[in-house]
Structure 1
Amino acid sequence: MKEELLILKILRQLLKVQTDQLIALLKMMPVDLPVKEEEIWLHTNEVMQIFQKTRKTIYNWRKSGHLRFRVNGGTCYYLKKDVYSILGKGPGAGM
């Protein structure tokens, strides 16, 4: 039990160091980097709101291949240009 607590304590310290380093690196990055339209990803909740559809519907579209997606950290994201092309508005319309 003491060994497990020691391991957890060490892991917490390592995570804090890594987090602090990441924050420092992010602060050094320029804020005004241009983002290409094809690199904008939307969260499932945003897509649900745009289409005014349920999570299940979005899942079905994803499963059937009608909506491309990528998973990052267990969360699905969708390319903004794909979402708006389905709507027939073209990329970036209305946003």
Structure 2
Amino acid sequence: MKEELMILKILRQLLKVQTDQLLALLKMLPADLPVKEEEIWLHTNEVMLIFQKTRKTIYNWRKSGHLRFRVNGGTCYYLKKDVYAIMKEEPGG
């Protein structure tokens, strides 16, 4: 048990060092770095606002394959271009 705690402490310190290094590298990137439209990802809440639909509806679209997504850190994100393509399909879109 004592060894496990020691290993966890070491891993936590390593993770902090790597996180700090990554943040330092990100700060070196230019603030106006161009982002391609196809690389913009939207959070579920943003998609819900765009469509004025519930979380359950967005989930059903995801489950049926109607809306592509990716999961990052337990959170679903959707490609902006896919969201707007669906908007064009929707009545009144």
Q: Is there any run of 5+ residues in structure 1 with no aligned partner, and where?
A: 90-95
Task: Please give the residue correspondences for 1:16-95 in structure 2 after superposition, counting only pairs within 5 Å.
Answer: 16-88=16-88
For normalisation by structure 2, the TM-score amounts to 0.84
Q: Secondary structure at the match of 2:76?
A: strand
Q: Is there any run of 5+ residues in structure 2 with no aligned partner, and where?
A: none
Which string of whole-angstrom CA distances, capped at 9 and with x for unpartnered residues, describes residues 53-74 of structure 1?
1111101111112112122222
Q: Secondary structure at the match of 2:46?
A: helix
Aligned to 2:7: 7
- Structure 1 residue ranges (4+ consecutive) displaced by more than 6 angstroms after TM superposition: none
Q: Secondary structure at the match of 2:31?
A: coil
Which string of whole-angstrom CA distances, capped at 9 and with x for unpartnered residues, describes residues 1-22 of structure 1?
3212211221121111111111
Question: What is the identity, as a one-letter code, of the residue corresponding to 1:23?
Answer: L
- What value does the CA root-mean-square deviation take over the aligned residues? 1.6
In structure 2, C-alpha distance between the alignment counterparts of 1:12 and 1:71, rounded to whole Å = 24
In structure 2, C-alpha distance between the alignment counterparts of 1:71 and 1:4, rounded to whole Å = 30
In structure 2, C-alpha distance between the alignment counterparts of 1:64 and 1:34, rounded to whole Å = 33
Which string of whole-angstrom CA distances, capped at 9 and with x for unpartnered residues, describes residues 15-50 of structure 1?
111111111111111111111111111011110111
Q: Secondary structure at the match of 2:71?
A: strand
For normalisation by structure 1, the TM-score amounts to 0.83
